[in-house]
């Protein structure tokens, strides 16, 4: 049984049958004190029904809730879908949206490159809101301490992406 105890205004915890005590507020040795949290939002994947804005907005808001508080949000979409998706993003309060070319996987490449940039700046937790297998490379980038995957129950998720995720959250 764990018993909370306060000494000198600091909360401590210990086990009744153990003589070791540790501070509750002690930093975790394997993670930096403040891990930057970056949301890589594949808006084309999350909101494939963007022609139905009410449904797309509901799905996007579910993903944002599942992500929790983040330091940065990066989104990208092809030029042909940019206007439509930007309107949905603006309504959800997301104001960073990169316009890409209309080549296949152009937005995915930009998002992966943005994740590489954040990882290159040091320790970060990358939250990926996508179901595409191409995002699995983020898990192995130097500087990425955790890869959190957000999926939506209506969409099939690539198994290779599920295998590399540290945590899986379902946006519902």
Number of helices and strands in the chain (H, E):
5, 9
Q: What is the pLDDT of residue 51?
A: 67
Burial of 14 (0-12, 13-18, 19+ CB in 10 A): middle
Question: Strand ranges (DSSP E) for 87-166?
Answer: 98-100, 124-129, 144-151
* Sequence spans of domains, the chain: 1-27, 36-170
Q: What is the CA radius of gyration of the chain?
A: 19
Structural domain 36-170, CATH architecture: 3-Layer(aba) Sandwich (3.40)
pLDDT digits (tens, 9 = 90+) for 68-119: 999 999 999 999 889 989 999 999 999 989 999 999 899 999 999 999 999 9
Residue 10 φ/ψ, nearest 5 degrees:
-115, 130
Residue 102 DSSP one-character state: S
Sheet holding 72-78, edge to edge: 98-100, 72-78, 36-41, 124-129, 144-151, 167-170
Chain length of the chain: 172
Q: Cα torsion for 38, 170, 95, 113, to the nearest 10°?
A: 40
pTM: 0.77
Quick one: 12 exposed, middle or buried, by C-beta within 10 A (0-12, 13-18, 19+)? middle
Look at residue 14 in the predicted model and tell me its pLDDT: 46
Mean pLDDT over residues 166-170, rounded?
88
Nearest to 77 by CA among 113, 108, 112, 38: 108
pLDDT in tens, 120-161: 998 999 999 998 999 999 999 999 999 999 988 877 788 888
């Amino acid at each position: 049984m764990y018993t909370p105890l306060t000494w000198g205004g600091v909360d401590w915890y210990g086990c009744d049958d153990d003589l070791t005590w540790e501070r509750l507020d002690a930093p975790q040795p394997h993670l930096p004190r403040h891990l930057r949290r970056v949301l890589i939002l594949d808006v084309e994947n999350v909101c494939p029904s963007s022609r139905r804005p009410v449904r797309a907005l509901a799905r996007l808001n579910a993903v944002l809730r599942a992500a929790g508080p983040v330091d940065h949000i990066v989104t990208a979409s092809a030029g042909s879908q940019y206007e439509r998706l930007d309107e949905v993003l603006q309504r959800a309060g997301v104001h960073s949206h990169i316009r890409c070319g209309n080549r296949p996987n152009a937005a995915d490449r930009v998002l992966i490159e943005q994740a590489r940039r954040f990882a290159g700046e040091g320790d970060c937790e990358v939250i990926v809101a996508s179901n595409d297998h191409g995002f699995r490379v983020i898990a192995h980038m130097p500087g990425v301490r955790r890869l959190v995957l957000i999926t939506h129950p209506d969409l099939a998720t690539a198994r290779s992406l599920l295998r590399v995720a540290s945590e899986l959250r379902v946006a519902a």
